[in-house]
């Protein structure tokens, strides 16, 4: 149960990373569109009547591309930092998952005291049946039979 929870967290974090990357790309694309088109549209449609009298474009039109670019770059930097933090969390969860898998493997092979005592009894019985004195006597009988 614990391992499936860790695997779910890892997949969720990876999915969030992918989502942030896509959002960052969209923010940059929208920034490019905004920076290249909006000031011109403002000059054409909003300030159309006033452009003949103006000697300089309005301050809003001048600083709008700069502000939009700063916002886009700040969001991309935020996305990069959060993705790096999520990636480190993914790495730590993966090591935790490997540790949990190793612990599960070792617990599945461990024996209880009762099982160990039963195995010791089987080994002791086998050793008693085939004690060295009996094997030497049997081998001596075989050798004497072969000589006859």
Considering the domain architecture, whether residues 81 and 47 belong to the same structural domain is answered as yes
Contact 76, 28 (CB under 8 A): yes
Task: Examine residue 148 and state whether it is found in any structural domain, yes or no.
Answer: no
Task: Examine residue 35 and state whether it is found in any structural domain, yes or no.
Answer: yes
Mean residue pLDDT across the chain:
80
Considering the domain architecture, whether residues 22 and 73 belong to the same structural domain is answered as yes
Mean pLDDT is lowest, of 3-12, 78-87, 106-115, 132-141, for 132-141
Task: Assess whether pLDDT exceeds 60 at residue 82.
Answer: yes
Nearest to 30 by CA among 63, 84, 75: 75
Task: Examine residue 133 and state whether it is found in any structural domain, yes or no.
Answer: yes
| Residue 59 pLDDT level (bands cut at 50, 70, 90) | confident
Considering the domain architecture, whether residues 106 and 117 belong to the same structural domain is answered as no
Looking at mean pLDDT, say which of 2-11, 15-24, 49-58, 126-135 comes out highest. 15-24
Packing angle of the helix pair 2-41, 59-109 (nearest 10 deg): 170
Cα 148 to Cα 78: distance, rounded to the nearest angstrom: 96
Q: What is the pLDDT of residues 6-36, one digit of tens each?
A: 899 999 999 999 999 999 999 999 999 988 8
**Residue 15: its H or E element:** helix 2-41
Cα 25 to Cα 126: distance, rounded to the nearest angstrom: 73
Contact 27, 35 (CB under 8 A): no
Considering the domain architecture, whether residues 70 and 138 belong to the same structural domain is answered as no
Cα 92 to Cα 89: distance, rounded to the nearest angstrom: 5
The whole domain housing 46 covers 2-110
């Amino acid at each position: 149960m614990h391992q499936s929870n860790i695997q779910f967290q890892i997949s969720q974090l990876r999915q969030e990373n992918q989502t942030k990357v896509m959002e960052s790309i969209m923010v940059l694309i929208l920034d490019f569109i905004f920076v290249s088109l909006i000031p011109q549209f403002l000059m054409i449609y909003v300030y159309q009547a006033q452009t003949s009298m103006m000697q300089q474009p309005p301050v809003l039109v001048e600083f709008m591309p700069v502000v939009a670019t700063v916002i886009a770059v700040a969001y991309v930097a935020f996305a990069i930092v959060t993705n790096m933090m999520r990636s480190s969390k993914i790495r730590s969860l993966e090591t935790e998952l490997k540790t949990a898998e190793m612990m599960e493997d070792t617990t599945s092979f461990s024996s209880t005291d009762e099982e160990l005592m039963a195995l010791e009894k089987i080994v002791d019985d086998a050793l008693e049946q085939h004690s060295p004195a009996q094997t030497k006597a049997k081998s001596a009988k075989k050798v004497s039979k072969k000589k006859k």
